[in-house]
Copies of this chain bind each other. A is one copy, B any other.
Amino acid sequence: MIQSRLIATELTPAPTGLDLVRNDLPTTPPPGHLRVKVLASAINPADINYLEGQYGDRPELPARLGMEGIATVIAHAPDTLPTPEAPVPAIGSQVIFIRRCGCWADILDVTPEDVLKVPTNLTPEQGALLKVNPMTALRMLSDFADLNPGDWVMQNAANSSVGECVIQIAKKLGLRTVNVVRREGLQQPLTSLGADAVIVDSKNTKDELMEITAGNAPKLGLNAVGGDSALRMMDCLANRGTMVTYGAMSRRAIKVPNGMLIFKQLRLEGFWVTKWIAAQKRARLETDYASLAQWMTDGSLRTTVSQTFPLSAYEQAFTNAKQDRRGGKVLFIPSAG
Contacts and interface: CB of A to CB of B under 8 A. Distances in A.
Given A255-B254, A256-B256, A247 B270 contact: no
Contact of A253 (B248, B255, B262): B255
Given A254-B256, A255-B254, A257-B253, A248 B262 contact: yes
A272 B263 contact: yes
A122 interface: no
A270 B275 contact: no
A27 interface: no
A262 B272 CA distance: 6
A123 interface: no
17 contacts: A226-B258, A245-B258, A246-B262, A247-B258, A247-B262, A248-B262, A253-B255, A253-B256, A254-B261, A255-B255, A255-B256, A258-B270, A260-B270, A261-B270, A262-B270, A262-B272, A265-B275
Nearest to A251: B258
Contacts of A272: 262-263, 265
Contact of A258 (B254, B256, B263): B254
Contacts of A259: 56, 248
A124 B308 CA distance: 76
A187 to B, nearest CB: 28
A116 B259 CA distance: 28
A268 interface: yes
Contacts of A257: 253
A262 B271 CA distance: 5
Contacts of A268: 256, 261, 267-269
A266 interface: yes
A248 B268 CA distance: 17
Given A245-B261, A258-B248, A269 B270 contact: no
A185 to B, nearest CB: 27
A219 to B, nearest CB: 15
Contacts of A226: 258
Nearest to A269: B267
A207 B104 CA distance: 39
Contacts of A254: 255-256, 258, 261
Contact of A56 (B55, B245, B256, B262): B262
Given A253-B255, A263-B270, 10 more contacts: A56-B262, A247-B262, A248-B258, A254-B261, A255-B255, A255-B256, A260-B270, A263-B272, A266-B270, A267-B269
A269 B258 CA distance: 10
A314 to B, nearest CB: 26
Interface string A20-43: 000000000000000000000000
Interface in A168-221: none
Nearest to A240: B275
